[in-house]
């Protein structure tokens, strides 16, 4: 009995610590979460974050890092910060120019319920600004990004792709939503958006995965301005419907301390601290036209997407539109 009491006493602080280290995600964050219409012809679907690590090797200057964690997981990815920091690239085993193209570039097709099998391709991050003001970020992960075609030439292909919506809430009521689009994006009032019940739709660009409020053709030559035609075109339609919340990790983020707190003890959190890139570096000697190249470097992760925002947009000026432009 004495040994049992000592054993239970040893467990008590651990149990308390686990309870204190988990976050409560407000129910309205899921209640109003966006649903994503993928393009019907997009070959590059959402993917599993851990699977991305399984198919890559961390490199700096196109050289594998000595002493990197093995296997690389979402629970130890942050250890690469001390082995190269922002110079680390999660480099695909086959290479971005591989032919034939690796099957894992294609991600996972959502099923009839909108679930991407057992893969986790979404991270929900909640930022509480106090006085009832809460931002909920919905980050979407894709293994591969297919760039735009301009004048018959393709630009901007890269491995790894992070996109997101952000909903700003006031006392649990959605006010406005941000749609990430390449180097910029657009913001709309919640009431302006097309929805299924309470859940707004986000339309994902064919190959590029930029997020739009309507389906159709979108020119993004001028960042933040969505025109019906132009030189840099994205295309959206109602292909497969993805419900990112069915396979998502959820966290809170404290801008004051910079700490991410997971919603459950078994939710990996270290990956959010990774300072490197989620894909290959740009191939050496890659030719460019007007400063643009066919193959570009992979993106950095959610922590670099201005989580502590004053406005709905990550930068100013921030225009929140009360209507959808170029609707069907």
Stated length of the chain: 328
At 2, the pLDDT band (50, 70, 90 cuts) reads very low
Ordered DSSP codes for 152-179: TEEE-BEEEEEEEEEEEEETTEEEEEEE
What's the chain's average pLDDT?
A: 91
Q: Which of 215-229, 273-287, 302-316 has the highest mean pLDDT?
A: 302-316
Question: What region does 114 belong to: left with phi over 0, alpha with psi -120 to 50, or beta?
Answer: left
- Measure the CA–CA gap between 222 and 205, rounded to whole angstroms: 16
- Measure the CA–CA gap between 160 and 271, rounded to whole angstroms: 14
- Centroid of chain to Cα 105: 16
Could you read off the pLDDT of 24-52 as tens digits, one per residue? 999 999 999 999 999 999 999 999 999 99
Q: Which of 49-63, 199-213, 281-295 has the lowest mean pLDDT?
A: 281-295
pTM comes to 0.92
Could you read off the pLDDT of 147-165 as tens digits, one per residue? 988 777 788 999 999 999 9
Q: Read off φ and ψ for residue 247, nearest 5 degrees.
A: -135, 80
Residue 216 parent element (H or E): strand 216-219
Could you read off the pLDDT of 162-195 as tens digits, one per residue? 999 999 999 999 999 999 999 899 999 999 999 9
């Amino acid at each position: 009995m004495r040994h049992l009491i000592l054993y239970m006493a040893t467990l008590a602080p651990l149990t308390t610590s686990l309870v204190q280290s988990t976050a409560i995600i407000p129910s309205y964050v899921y209640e109003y979460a966006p649903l994503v219409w993928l393009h019907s012809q997009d070959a590059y679907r959402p993917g599993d974050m851990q699977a991305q690590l399984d198919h890559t090797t961390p490199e700096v200057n196109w050289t594998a890092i000595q002493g990197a964690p093995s296997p690389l997981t979402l629970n130890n990815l942050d250890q690469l910060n001390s082995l190269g920091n922002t110079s680390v690239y999660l480099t695909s085993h086959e290479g971005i120019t591989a032919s034939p193209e690796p099957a894992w570039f294609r991600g996972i097709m959502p099923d009839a319920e909108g679930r991407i099998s057992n893969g986790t391709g979404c991270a929900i991050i909640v930022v509480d600004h106090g006085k009832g003001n809460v931002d909920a970020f919905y980050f979407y992960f894709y293994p591969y990004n297919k760039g735009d075609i301009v004048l018959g030439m393709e630009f901007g292909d890269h491995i790894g792709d992070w996109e997101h919506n952000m909903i700003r809430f006031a006392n649990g009521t959605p006010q406005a939503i941000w749609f990430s689009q390449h180097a910029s994006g657009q913001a709309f009032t919640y009431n302006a958006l097309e929805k299924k019940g309470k859940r707004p739709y986000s339309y994902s660009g064919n190959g590029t995965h930029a997020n739009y409020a309507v389906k159709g053709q979108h020119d993004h030559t001028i960042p933040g301005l969505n025109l019906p035609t132009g030189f840099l075109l994205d295309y959206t339609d109602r292909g497969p419907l993805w419900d990112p919340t069915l396979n998502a990790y959820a966290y809170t983020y404290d801008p004051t301390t910079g700490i991410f707190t997971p919603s459950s003890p078994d939710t990996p959190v270290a990956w959010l601290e990774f300072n490197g890139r989620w894909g290959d570096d740009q191939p050496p000697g890659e030719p460019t036209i007007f400063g643009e190249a066919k193959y570009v470097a992979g993106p950095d992760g959610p922590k670099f997407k201005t989580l502590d925002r004053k406005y709905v947009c990550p930068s100013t000026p921030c225009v929140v539109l009360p209507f959808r432009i170029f609707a069907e």
